[in-house]
Amino acid sequence: MSSPTPNAGNAPARISELKLFLFALSSAAVIANGYYIHPLITPVAEEFGVSGATVGLAPAFNQIALALGILLLLPLGDRFNNRTLVTIFVGGQFLAMLAMALSGSFALFVAASSLLGFVTIAPYLLPAYVTKRVAPERIGHVTGIMTAGVTLGILGSRVGGGLLGHYFGWRSAYWVGVASMALLVILLPLIMERRRDEQPGAVLPPRYGELLRSLWPIMKSLPEVPLGGLIQALSFGLFLAIWLAIGLHLPRNGYGVDIVGYLAIIAIINVFGSPFAGRFADRIGAERARIYFCMAQLAGVCILPFAGQNLGLLVIAVIFNTIGGASVDICSRTILFSRAPDIRTRLMTIYIVIMFIGGGISSWLGAATYEYAGWSGISIMAFCYALTIMGLSLWGLRFRQASA
């Protein structure tokens, strides 16, 4: 097992700004596939004849399958060539999106959505790949740009999905996903290195079983990593629950699914704040910066009870929640990437598995809460989540003091 001791050597800066931009856009396209369902949840439920709580199983199983895929597949990034792995996983997404576009039953749609989640590895393999190729003092900045790509994909899927679903039917969004994955299967191998990532000296890469067995000792030796995963599980779960509730709430109050897309367009402006969040974390410390961004998230949640029938207030709540949530993620990843450069893929595995377990539970819980308690129920749920996130982030300051 590789030791989780930080590597003192500085990684050479081998990633150009153009490649970094392409990697961020690729992450956006890949991650978007799992979130087209959010603005389309109402028309999908209507076509397959299922309730709001039942249709929530599709995104829930997607997130849980993603967590399982991350656990079983992402550690392979510390053993095999990342270029080969990314190509295989993007090809798997192509097949899953094709099955979703052609699905004739809700059971098949859910099964394909679960397969899609299981092979959505590239957006979490690429940041580990990129941060191995930049100097340590740029990790926060680069992490911010890569996270901006993920945020762009998650929010852009709402824009594209909402508009495509409104004008061309919900399946059109999945056909766009099929086309984009076909393009990435060609593009990504061209811009990634062909050789295996460096191994120190003549050390052989650990076997697959050793990779999996090493996760628990790593969690015990670096408790700030699972803590960051738990914080992000709640933060990401809060984000998903709010957007699923919006996807159910607006159409039931006389708005089309395109309005969900327009709302996401406004939220996309937060993408431009992600590199700033990364630089801010580099400057004052990621643990301290995370507290400030938790405050923004909590402020957005406090607006939600008054935003159910007011689009203006809803826009403000979404912006604050998106800024806060994405920046909390950047801070947590900056902490993760600064700890042990030689095992970053496994650190990312721990973080993402915890994150998506929370996302999967919250996807179903958000849809079910709205179904049975309406907008007030979602508002109470969101407040409880945000308050817990703040408490855990304050507790996380102890690790900064211990490592100082």
pLDDT in tens, 107-140: 999 999 999 999 998 888 888 788 777 777 677 7
What is the distance of C-alpha 397 from the center of its chain? Answer: 24
What single-letter DSSP state applies at residue 7?
P
Look at residue 255 and give its three-state secondary structure: coil
Residue 4 has what pLDDT?
44
Q: What does 149-163 look like in DSSP terms, one character per residue?
A: HHHHHHHHHHHHHHH
Comparing CA positions, the residue from 127, 144, 157 lying closest to residue 62 is 157
- Residues 152 and 155: their CA atoms lie apart, in Å, by 5
Residue 257 has what pLDDT?
62
Residue 181, classified by CB atoms within 10 Å of its CB into exposed (0-12), middle (13-18) or buried (19+), is buried
The pTM for the full model equals 0.69
Q: Give the chain's residues under pLDDT 50.
A: 1-12, 198-202, 401-404
Residue 203 has what pLDDT?
57
Residue 340 has what pLDDT?
72
Question: Domains along the chain?
Answer: 17-197+210-403 (1.20.1250.20)
Residue 264 has what pLDDT?
67
Distance (Å) of CA 394 to CA 50, 145, 278: 42, 25, 19
Distance (Å) of CA 376 to CA 52, 63, 350, 365, 372: 17, 25, 34, 14, 10
Residues 50 and 106: beta-carbon distance below 8 Å: yes
Quick one: CA torsion of 250, 253, 254, 257, rounded to 10 degrees?
20
Q: Say which residue the tokens 């949640």 belong to.
A: 301
